[in-house]
Amino acid sequence: MTYRKPGSEKTLKTIKVLHNRISERFPHSSLSGVCEVITIAESVINDIIFIGIAIFFLVTAEVRIKRGRALEALRDLRALSHVIDMHQLTKDPAKISKNSTQTPSSPSRTMSAFELTRYLDYCSEMLALTGKISALYVQNFNDSVVLAAVNELETLTTSLSRKIWQKIIILHKFEEAGR
């Protein structure tokens, strides 16, 4: 399908052949000069296009490097969020109740209700701070890909924090009921 698009090499070759034909047939004509201008213009346009592509590549290179670094840091923060969540997984507020029974595979429960509340609250605070740190990555870097990753991380940390606060509310209800 090359016959449907003009190629710059073929066009330039055709212009040069036409220039030669005009120069040979009408050596003192200004038409030859016009054809020469077309040749130069085509060459300049090609140069401008290549320079534009090079400039575009250089300008976007910085953005791509910054984006890569930010996304890598955000992946680390996402992993940290999951680690924080794993630390609170076995902290079951129902196990504070006197009616709670242990099985041989149950994790050991050594925290008081107050300590468990503080522990869960600290996990929630760490998740909130993790979300805030992620927001710092887009504060001075306006990139839609990084912004989307930050929004996803903030949604994750908020959801995990909400889950932790449900446990804290259950603990408070047990305390109010006198266990």
Q: What is the dihedral of CA 122, 126, 127, 132, to 10 degrees?
A: 140
- Please give the pLDDT value at position 80: 96
Residue 64: closest CA among 141, 168, 169: 141
Tokens of 13: 């070759």
CA pair distance 95, 52, nearest whole angstrom: 67
- Please give the pLDDT value at position 94: 77
CA pair distance 7, 135, nearest whole angstrom: 48
User: What's the pLDDT tens digit per position in 130-173?
Assistant: 999 999 888 888 889 999 999 999 999 999 999 999 999 998 88
- Please give the pLDDT value at position 5: 56
Per-position b or e across 77-100, b if 16+ CB within 10 A of its CB: bbebbeebbeebeebbbebbeeee
Q: Quote the crossing angle between the two packed helices 8-25 and 31-89, to the nearest 10°.
A: 170
- Please give the pLDDT value at position 52: 87
Q: Where are the domains of the chain?
A: 2-95+110-177
Those residues of the chain that have pLDDT short of 70 are: 1-8, 12, 39, 97-100, 179
